[in-house]
Amino acid sequence: MFMPSARYRRVAWAGAGLILCVALAACNRWHAPIVTVPIEKNAALQYRFALNYQQQANLPLIQDDDRYRMEREAVRQTFGKVPEYFPADREFTPLARIDMILVNLGLDENVKRSPPSEREVKAAIRQLEAVSKDYPEYAFVQAQSKYLEGNYYKYLGDFPKAQACFKEVMDKFQDDKNSKIQNLGKRAALLYKQVYVSEHP
């Protein structure tokens, strides 16, 4: 039976330790930041602060993956300060909650380095349903939540549910007097009227 010498064992353990250190360093290369954000006078200003921060972060232009994840998380938490600081607000807090979902999932205008998992997308759909339920009187939130749900079902390949969402937005909001809501209704109509083909029944 081969018995390595003490010197060989020391070298082997040193090598294994070095590999472990490198592996741990790679795993710990990025960790979620803790974001401290100033408290503004009201929810409107807090939401505007978050929008400005997102614009200045300019996520699509960030090349380094670690920095991108760090900045994306900072943007998400900055939006999160709106419902944290102003939970009773019914105008800007729901918008911030939707923006948190968008940024967290990475299917908004920003480019995510890796596609979200099915679990992440389903979690986002549940979060959108919760926002919609919490603000039944807010037409824009109702339209945007359902429109995004449709897009997320489309991403999952669940085209019947996607089309049901798009049809609901189209029927309810296509002729709305508010131009932003009307725009969501028209975009939903375009998506509803497409043909979707599934690979499997």
pLDDT one-digit tens code per residue, 17-68: 433 333 333 344 557 788 899 999 999 999 999 999 999 999 888 888 888 8
Residues 110 and 181 reside in one and the same domain: no
Task: Specify the length of the chain in residues.
Answer: 201
| Percent of residues, the chain, with pLDDT higher than 90 | 67
Q: Residue 64's pLDDT is what?
A: 87
- Average pLDDT on 97-114 reads 76
Give the domain range for residue 60.
33-115
Contacts of 53 (CB under 8 A, 6+ apart): 74, 75, 78
Q: Residue 2's pLDDT is what?
A: 43
Greater confidence, 201 or 160?
160
Residues 134 and 191 reside in one and the same domain: yes
Domain presence at residue 169: yes
Question: What share of residues in the chain are helix, strand, coil (percent, to 5)?
Answer: 70, 0, 30
Average confidence score pLDDT of the chain = 85
Continuous segment of H or E residues that includes residue 188: helix 179-192
Among candidate residues 115, 145, 162, the one where a domain is terminated: 115
Residues 127 and 194 reside in one and the same domain: yes
Predicted TM-score (pTM) of the model is: 0.81
Greater confidence, 200 or 137?
137
Residues 110 and 50 reside in one and the same domain: yes
**Whether the Cβ atoms of residue 124 and residue 101 lie closer than 8 Å to each other:** yes
Total domains in the fold of the chain: 2
As a dihedral over the C-alpha atoms of residue 117, residue 122, residue 126, residue 131, rounded to 10 degrees, the angle is: 50
Domain presence at residue 14: no
Instruction: Flag whether pLDDT at 72 surpasses 80.
Output: yes
**pLDDT class for 16, splitting at 50, 70, 90?**
very low
Greater confidence, 31 or 82?
82
Residues 53 and 94 reside in one and the same domain: yes
- Of the given ranges (30-34, 57-61, 121-125, 150-154), which has the lowest mean pLDDT? 30-34
Domain presence at residue 137: yes
The 8-class DSSP code of residue 197 comes to: -
- Average pLDDT on 179-190 reads 96
Helix axes 43-57, 93-105, angle to 10 degrees: 20
Among candidate residues 52, 86, 115, the one where a domain is terminated: 115
CA-CA distance, 19 to 2, in Å (whole number)?
24
Residues 71 and 99 reside in one and the same domain: yes
Among candidate residues 92, 115, 138, the one where a domain is terminated: 115
Residues 123 and 201 reside in one and the same domain: yes
CA-CA distance, 47 to 81, in Å (whole number)?
9
Domain presence at residue 56: yes
Greater confidence, 6 or 87?
87
Instruction: Flag whether pLDDT at 119 surpasses 70.
Output: yes
Residues 85 and 154 reside in one and the same domain: no
- Average pLDDT on 76-93 reads 97
**Whether the Cβ atoms of residue 149 and residue 129 lie closer than 8 Å to each other:** yes
